Amino acid sequence: MKAAVLGVGLIGGSLALCLKERTNCRVFGYDHSQETLDWAVAAGVIDEGSRRLEEAVKDAEFIFLAVPVGTIPELLSRLERQPLSPGCIISDVGSTKGKLVRWFEEFRKRGVTYIGGHPMAGSHRSGVEAAHSLLFENAYYILTPSPETPLSEVQKLSSLLQQATKAKMVIMDPHHHDRLVGAISHLPHIIAAGLVNQVGRYNEENEWFHRLAAGGFRDLTRIAASHPVMWRDILMSNRGELLRLMEDWLSVMEEVRDAIERGDAEEIENFFRRARFLRQQLPERKKDMLLPSFECYVDVPDQPGVIGWVAMLLGNEGINLSNIGIMENREDAAGVLRLVFQKEEDLKRAIRILSDAGYRVFSFD
Ligand SMILES: NC(=O)C1=CN([C@@H]2O[C@H](COP(=O)(O)OP(=O)(O)OC[C@H]3O[C@@H](n4cnc5c(N)ncnc54)[C@H](O)[C@@H]3O)[C@@H](O)[C@H]2O)C=CC1
Ligand SMILES: O=C(O)C(=O)Cc1ccc(O)cc1
């Protein structure tokens, strides 16, 4: 099986290593830098490399775009004009997904499936030299198929990626994805960079600012060392969500500022109490602490009572749900319901019952 990785940097190189190490894919790399390709072949990151797109994607069953976010649309346009293997699956690893939605339809017309993807693991380093095959292990890897994407294709891609990366595969609506990563990744990068720049200005006057910057400042600003061009692209492509999130952030800051101005000790204490409580609730990352869970996703119409209806269908058959929730909440679209079970047998029975009831059910397990 041939897989093409377009952009052999940190993420593309890591994905190539994963595919080579844990699947039977032969990995063909494409990059605009010949030096990168030579290094990647010599280090065994890819089997072969070329600066010619046509050669890289010829006969490939899977094509992964791992170029900067701002370059993905241009590369997709070029791919559209290439002779591609019928039934081939194209995916990308870009940090934002909403702007890429239209490509599903563009490629569908040509008998090719495009499914957005985003591994939620990375580093402030970039380039193929920093690639490694354990980068994605146990991280979440989000896929953002269109509601029309054939389930068999989503399954094919997710099985390959799960096997290769050992990540936890999740599916999500692309716009919901952008709001979510906007809040937990993009906004924090803006805040970290802003704080470092602010203190940097003070330090120009008095270098004790940097000398004393330890503990909290370092912890909070680690991500400010990330790649400026990559983050420029990410902010430009998640504009709408980020503007909304920054409004919220500014009003949170205003509330604290006002509380300080008023000398409102209670409000200030509550601000920190709430944060400490919520911080302690964040899920642990330790691998062995994860309880086994089996999950599936169900396409549901956007109608009141649909969660209760699905829960009742399963309850009537004595199936225990350990969690249930809507994955996206746009008003104009149907939702994706996530169902979690503690027993594999319950998952299998639930899939059968819901499919028999006419629902489109998807599972990674
Ligand atoms: N770095 C991170 O922590 C994460 C990054 N991502 C996404 O992964 C993608 C790649 O990021 P990294 O691997 O960190 O970047 P990188 O800079 O390490 O790698 C990008 C590679 O693409 C090549 N490239 C750039 N423009 C090209 C073009 N027009 N044609 C051919 N090759 C080209 C570069 O030579 C480089 O080898 C981005 O879309 C980013 O949003 C996703 C998850 C985490
Ligand atoms: O967790 C973060 O914010 C990181 O710094 C790593 C990272 C960067 C970009 C992504 O799209 C996903 C993960």
Joined tokens for residue 297: 């996703």
Q: What's 192's domain CATH number?
A: 1.10.3660.10
Shared domain for 25 and 142, answered yes or no, is yes
Shared domain for 105 and 11, answered yes or no, is yes
Shared domain for 233 and 166, answered yes or no, is no
45 ligand 1 Cβ < 6 A? no
Q: Could you give the number of structural domains in the chain?
A: 3
116 ligand 1 Cβ < 6 A? no
- DSSP code for 290: P
Shared domain for 144 and 230, answered yes or no, is no
Return the ligand 1 atom nearest residue 123 CA: 3
In a domain, 116, yes or no: yes
Domain boundary pick from 134, 153, 172: 172
Domain boundary pick from 172, 197, 229: 172
Burial class of residue 12, CB neighbours in 10 A (0-12, 13-18, 19+) = buried
Shared domain for 245 and 300, answered yes or no, is no
Shared domain for 296 and 272, answered yes or no, is no
Residue 157 alpha carbon to ligand 1 centre in Å: 20
What is the value of pTM for the model shown?
Answer: 0.82
Shared domain for 161 and 197, answered yes or no, is no
Residue nearest to atom 8 of ligand 2 (CA): 122
Shared domain for 144 and 13, answered yes or no, is yes
Q: What's 313's domain CATH number?
A: 3.30.2130.10
Distances (CA, A) of 306 to 107, 294, 328, 331, 358: 33, 21, 14, 15, 13
191 ligand 2 Cβ < 6 A? no
List per-residue pLDDT tens for the chain, 365 residues long: 999 999 999 999 999 999 999 999 999 999 999 999 999 999 999 999 999 999 999 999 999 999 999 999 999 999 999 999 999 999 999 999 999 999 999 999 999 999 999 999 988 789 999 999 999 998 999 999 998 999 999 999 999 999 999 999 999 999 999 999 999 999 999 999 999 999 999 999 999 999 999 888 998 998 999 999 999 999 999 999 999 999 999 999 999 999 999 999 999 999 999 999 999 998 876 443 345 678 888 887 767 788 888 888 998 899 988 888 776 544 444 567 888 888 889 999 999 999 999 888 887 65
Shared domain for 158 and 114, answered yes or no, is yes
123 ligand 1 Cβ < 6 A? yes
Question: Nearest CA to 302 among 274, 268, 329, 262?
Answer: 329
Angle between helices 239-262 and 174-181 (to 10 degrees): 30
Amino acid letter, residue 163: Q
Euclidean distance between CA atoms 17 and 301, whole angstroms: 40
Range of the domain at 204: 177-281
Return the ligand 2 atom nearest residue 234 CA: 11
Shared domain for 245 and 302, answered yes or no, is no
Domain boundary pick from 228, 256, 281: 281
How would you classify the pairing of strands 335-341 and 294-300?
antiparallel
Shared domain for 58 and 136, answered yes or no, is yes
Distances (CA, A) of 167 to 58, 135, 158, 358: 28, 9, 10, 30
Contact 319, 312 (CB under 8 A): no
In a domain, 103, yes or no: yes
In a domain, 186, yes or no: yes
Shared domain for 239 and 255, answered yes or no, is yes
Q: What's 36's domain CATH number?
A: 3.40.50.720
Residue 26 alpha carbon to ligand 1 centre in Å: 21
In a domain, 229, yes or no: yes
In a domain, 286, yes or no: no
SS3 67: coil
